[in-house]
Structure 1
Amino acid sequence: MRLVQLRKPAAVLAAGQSVGAGDDGPVLVDRLERRVRYLRVSLTDRCSMRCTYCMPPEGIEHVDRSEVLSLEEVARMVAAFAAWGVERVRLTGGEPTLRRNLTWLVQRLTQLRTPSGAPLRVVMTSNGELIERLAGPLKAAGLETLTISLDSLDRERFAAITRRDKLDQVVAGFAAAHAVGLPLKLNTVAVRGFNDDELGALCRFAWQHDATPRFIELMPMAGGRLFVPGELMPAAEIRERVGAELGAVVELADQPQGPFGPAQYYVLRGGAHDGRRFGTIAAMTENFCGSCNRLRVSATGQLHACLARDDAGDLRGALRSAQGEAGAAALERVVRTALGHKRDAHGFEQTGEGGPRKAMISIGG
């Protein structure tokens, strides 16, 4: 593949000049010199739950299955990104465990190598419903980390926010993943007036399963239709509430090695949970766009440079237009264009405006 050679330190790139060479080989760099190391890939726009912040009450119009990337196409696409220096891929949905042969895909992706020779790191986010039976096979296939979404430990609240009565299955999924030694994270969307009194309990539940709890601010997806401004719980308030509930002082922790993901981590000092960690993901009140190193691919192969934007590049068309070098060149053109126009920041506003028209489930956030 023809690559643009960059000087070190890299000069600011013109739009479209997005593939260059780093110390360990090819790298992806956007017009603001942000290096892309992390790819999020949605495997389906279907989900077994209907979370209120993710899907409109009426649901979405699902795409025809012929429009969804096959797992072979996903593997081919991810192999190209790994060759360009992407080091970590997260499988998302919808609900990724609904895809048949998921463990085959995980195993296939973990066999890929980055230009440095390191194996591609493969992680996944799930609603947890089917994890009880999949935890062992996913661990054996090489999945590095599993993140499970859980917004309440109260059965009625869980059913209200997911529109499904499946709390027992999710709890069983945590237990099964913990039992096989699959590293875990717990994601909770913090909603003022709904689950803001459970943050401490959710932390304790996570720690019992050797999981790291993370609390996410509400975002105005779907054109703001699913966003209620008064329900937004800022990350600073989340940290204050966790410390108050658990009787500890919250301090900024040493961040995990590797520039992956938007979470900021904190540690508790004092009390029964001294030394325990948790994280916040604060797109609304503590903007982290300046360090964004992510690209997203929807289930239909649309490349999104930003979660908060509707513009996309057509990777599916490139994948299906040609094979071999011609196919790789077609993919590269789409990626170059996306990185050449990657924005410096999202447009989320706390009024609920500024988000994309698409619902979260359609983008694979």
Structure 2
Amino acid sequence: MPLVQLRRPSTASPDSEVALGGALMDRQSRTVRYLRVSLTDRCNYRCTYCMPEEGLVYGPRTDVLSLEEVVRVCEAFARWGVTRVRLTGGEPTLRRGLVSLVERLAALPTVEPARRLEVVMTTNGERLAELAEPLARAGLRSLTVSLDSLDPERFGRITRRGTLERVLGGVEAASRAGLWPLKINTVAISGFNDDELASLVRWAWERDVVPRFIELMPMASGELYVPGELLPAAEIRARVEEGLQTALVPDEGEGVRGAGPASYWRAVGGAFDGRRLGTIAALTENFCSSCNRLRISATGQLHACLARDDTGDLRSALRSQDPDRLERVVRAALGTKRDAHGFNIDGTGGPTKAMVSIGG
């Protein structure tokens, strides 16, 4: 399989006439409250659905935002109404200075009185055993850990480099550190880990962890996507119900959905009555109408949609002498945000970027 080249996508040109100030709202009147920031496009894993085994072709390190630039851009978004920032990668724990960055971000004020920026993170868990406690002390609010299998051999095959024991130890360390709510993300793959769905949920629920299942998405022009491996969210829930002898009903109470794209379900009956499960179903249960997110790559490119290649160049704006350029780029990108993604079940319609380059 050839290396995936990180191609420069088309960029949204900042319009000098774009209106500044006020909440961040796209042309569909969706308000942005949630920002995902990739700290690096490098990863110590090579998960089969995320990154080619040989890796990616990277640009110069000078293209990567400095930690000071990350703080500046998050401070600006907080002024514009963002209340939650999720740190992603690649693998964010590979970024030097992570703990001090979390401390600085968690101290930033938001537009809501007396509320500080909520800082959360998604990680593969490989380095959590040593980092969970320092991150919690620095102000990290909650954590999501990727966990695609409880079988060591199978886990090694899907991550190509990972060690299951270290990840499970990392989850335990995060629990002891009080990083709640603690969630696990599992990419459900037909013919690979579909026989483990109930076991993964049982493992999570026994530890007061919220399990979430993600449908495969055709990133990287569909290069890593096999249509027959897609496991629809409805089937995922049905298998969990059968395996754990419980019913799953929509959990629609106030504040249940959270800031992200997951829909949540609550177990009714059986040994795990009241426990919660999430599904993220970009292909079969589209959630674009409620999208409240923007993404920033490690190189400072603003992505209004995970499934599109259109970007706004925040790095150049941050490094310019124009104090308003950053805001113009952001609002110009929002003004061209599409109604929905273009993912198709057959693997077409996705972006050229790989998942690892934007952090999901």
TM range (shorter): over 0.9
Q: Deviation of residue 255 (structure 1)?
A: 4.8
* 1:149 pairs with 2:146: yes
Q: Matched residue of 1:35: which SS?
A: coil
Which of the residues 327, 330, 337 maps onto 1:332?
A: 327
Q: Deviation of residue 19 (structure 1)?
A: 5.2
Q: Matched residue of 1:198: which SS?
A: helix
Mapping of 1:1-365 within 5 angstroms?
A: 20=21, 26-117=22-113, 118-183=115-180, 184-255=182-253, 257=255, 260-322=259-321, 326-327=322-323, 329-365=324-360
Q: Deviation of residue 204 (structure 1)?
A: 1.8
Q: Deviation of residue 254 (structure 1)?
A: 2.7
* Structure 1: runs of 5+ lacking an equivalent: 1-13, 21-25
Q: Is the 8 A contact 1:155 1:165 kept in 2?
A: no
Which whole-Å CA distance do the structure 2 matches of 1:316 and 1:251 have between them?
44
TM-score, scaled to structure 1:
0.91
Q: Deviation of residue 173 (structure 1)?
A: 0.1
Which has the higher mean CA deviation after the structures are superposed, 252-261 or 277-286? 252-261
Name 1:5's counterpart in structure 2. Answer: none
Q: Is the 8 A contact 1:220 1:227 kept in 2?
A: yes
Name 1:7's counterpart in structure 2. Answer: none
Which has the higher mean CA deviation after the structures are superposed, 261-270 or 59-68? 59-68
Which whole-Å CA distance do the structure 1 matches of 2:147 and 2:329 have between them?
35
Q: Matched residue of 1:40: which SS?
A: strand
Q: Matched residue of 2:278: which SS?
A: strand
Q: Matched residue of 2:319: which SS?
A: helix
Q: Deviation of residue 199 (structure 1)?
A: 1.0
- Cα pair distance change 1:136/1:18, threshold 3 Å: farther
Q: Is the 8 A contact 2:89 2:359 kept in 1?
A: yes
Whichever residue aligns with residue 169 of structure 1, its letter is R
Which whole-Å CA distance do the structure 1 matches of 2:127 and 2:150 have between them?
18
Could you list the runs of 4 or more consecutive aligned residues of structure 1 that deviate by over 4 angstroms after TM superposition?
A: 14-20
Specify which structure has the bigger relative contact order, considering alpha-carbon pairs within 8 angstroms and separated by 6 or more residues: 2
Q: Matched residue of 1:29: which SS?
A: coil
Q: Deviation of residue 27 (structure 1)?
A: 1.1
Q: Is the 8 A contact 1:299 1:364 kept in 2?
A: no
TM-score, scaled to structure 2:
0.92
Which whole-Å CA distance do the structure 1 matches of 2:320 and 2:111 have between them?
26
* Structure 2: runs of 5+ lacking an equivalent: 1-14
- Cα pair distance change 1:18/1:45, threshold 3 Å: farther
Q: Matched residue of 2:23: which SS?
A: strand
Q: Deviation of residue 197 (structure 1)?
A: 1.0
Which whole-Å CA distance do the structure 2 matches of 1:121 and 1:63 have between them?
31
Whichever residue aligns with residue 363 of structure 1, its letter is I
Query: 1:23-64: CA deviations, max 9, x gaps?
Result: xxx310001100000000000010010001100232111222
